[in-house]
Amino acid sequence: MKKILLATILMAAFTSCSSFRKKDSSGIGTESPVKSETTAGGESERLDGSPLNLNATGSDSGKIDGLRTIFFEYDKAAIVSAEKEKLTGNVEWIKKNSKVKVTVEGHCDQRGSSEYNLALGERRANAVKQALVSKGIPASRLTTVSFGKEKLLSNDESEEGMAKNRRANFVPIGQ
């Protein structure tokens, strides 16, 4: 009797733990990355639940749709108007992916001392973070780090090559 009771309990546990799958017209279970969620206003909002591409090189990789690297002028930490449109697109991406935290990495070109460039990279990363916060991104979702001139994208010492290194890139963390 105890064996039958134990078998019944185990069977019930296994069947209740199976995952829910939508059925298509053929009756076969399918999994869709698109889910819906009820908003505070009572409407239904469709959410894309497909996994994000969280490339470790972030926006520098060019593989994360919606995240773009911000570039800076020589020896400056101010975001120029030409880069603000990219920043707006990044804000939209961060808001859309509300469970993701983002590290803003500050980088410099190869001129100047390591100490100077670490400080400049920090100012660049913080300028971008402040701009994101001013556009509604919670500061708790953002961290900054400076790599100074330690992670160059280009070793070319022409102005065009060095301009590729003066940047702040975005690295999404977790989901």
Predicted local confidence at residue 41, as pLDDT: 59
pLDDT tens-digit profile of 116-163? Answer: 999 999 999 999 999 999 999 999 999 999 999 999 999 999 999 999
Tally of domains in the chain = 1
Predicted local confidence at residue 24, as pLDDT: 38
Predicted local confidence at residue 43, as pLDDT: 64
Does residue 37 carry a pLDDT above 60? no
Greater pLDDT, 25 or 132: 132
Predicted local confidence at residue 56, as pLDDT: 77
Tokens 């994000």 sit on residue:
52
Yes or no: say if 66 and 93 are a contact pair by the CB < 8 Å rule. yes
Predicted local confidence at residue 38, as pLDDT: 53
CA-based torsion, 81, 82, 88, 90: positive or negative:
negative
Q: Is residue 42 part of a domain?
A: no
Predicted local confidence at residue 2, as pLDDT: 54
Greater pLDDT, 123 or 26: 123
Give exposure, 160-170, as e/b (b: 16+ Cβ within 10 Å).
Answer: eebbbbbbbbb
Q: Is residue 151 part of a domain?
A: yes
pLDDT tens-digit profile of 44-99? Answer: 554 444 455 568 789 999 899 999 999 999 999 999 999 999 999 999 999 999 99
Range of the domain at 116: 51-173
Yes or no: say if 124 and 117 are a contact pair by the CB < 8 Å rule. no
Q: Is residue 14 part of a domain?
A: no
Q: What is the 3-state secondary structure (H, E, C) of 65-122?
A: CCCCCEECCCCCCCCCHHHHHHHHHHHHHHHHCCCCEEEEEEECCCCCCHHHHHHHHH
Q: Is residue 38 part of a domain?
A: no
Q: What is the CATH number of the domain that holds 56?
A: 3.30.1330.60
Q: Is residue 39 part of a domain?
A: no
Predicted local confidence at residue 60, as pLDDT: 92
Yes or no: say if 158 and 165 are a contact pair by the CB < 8 Å rule. no
Q: Is residue 62 part of a domain?
A: yes
Q: Is residue 31 part of a domain?
A: no
Mean pLDDT on 94-109: 96
Q: Is residue 138 part of a domain?
A: yes
According to DSSP, the β-strands at 101-107 and 142-148 are parallel
